[in-house]
Amino acid sequence: MGLFRKLLGGAVGLAKTAVVIGTNFFGGGLKGKIMLAVSVATAVTIGLLLWDRSSLNKRIDDANQTIGAHKQTIVNRDAAIESQNGTIRQMRRNEVVQARRHQADIDALLDENAEQQRIAEEARQATANIRKLINENPEVKSWADTPVPAGILECLRRQSGPDNCTSSGTPPS
């Protein structure tokens, strides 16, 4: 409001100056009154233009401050987005590493499962071969139906294996 008063005071001062000039140069007649009216109108117009310019400058300054605040907000948000992007990139790298570890674990389990299936198949095959031998050869079949001698059982109980037993079933001395 102080600026408006200054501008209004300046316009009033210009009007007074116009009155003095109009009275001194053109006298108190019609020409003087017309000159006075034109001078007053000019002074008021100049005052309004100056006041409007001041108002526009203030609005421009306010707009510049708002733009600066928005610019800082954008800079801060860009930094936050970049930080989040970095976090996301790190999380993706961690997921890739974890996925590779899981895939390696799965591959190891698949290899182990394949090995177990191979061993189970070999055991089935060996069992089938033994049954075939037992069924094809009557001597083996009669031997398979006899109880295992006590010496062999004792040897197997000590888990020393059949190679460490003598034909009598006792361990070698």
- Token duo for residue 74: 């954008």
Contact 122, 132 (CB under 8 A): no
pLDDT, one tens digit per residue, over 93-116 is 999 999 999 999 999 999 999 999
Give the whole-angstrom CA distance, residue 170 versus residue 150: 9
Q: Write the pLDDT tens digit of every residue in 75-92.
A: 999 999 999 999 999 999
Tokens of 4: 């408006």
pLDDT bin (cut points 50, 70, 90) of residue 136 is confident
Q: What is the mean pLDDT of residues 139-144?
A: 70
For residues 89 and 170, give the distance between their C-alpha atoms in angstroms, rounded to a whole number: 71
Residues contacting 43, CB < 8 A, separation 6+: 11, 12, 14, 15, 18
pTM, 2 dp: 0.39
Cα 111 to Cα 59: distance, rounded to the nearest angstrom: 76
* Cβ contacts of 38 within 8 Å, gap of 6 or more: 18
The two three-digit tokens of residue 3, written as one number: 């600026």
Q: Give the tens place of pLDDT for each residue, 18-71.
A: 666 666 665 667 776 677 777 777 877 877 777 777 777 788 889 999 999 999
Kindly state the tokens that stand for 117. 């299936």
Q: Which of 28-42, 48-62, 126-140, 142-156 has the lowest mean pLDDT?
A: 28-42
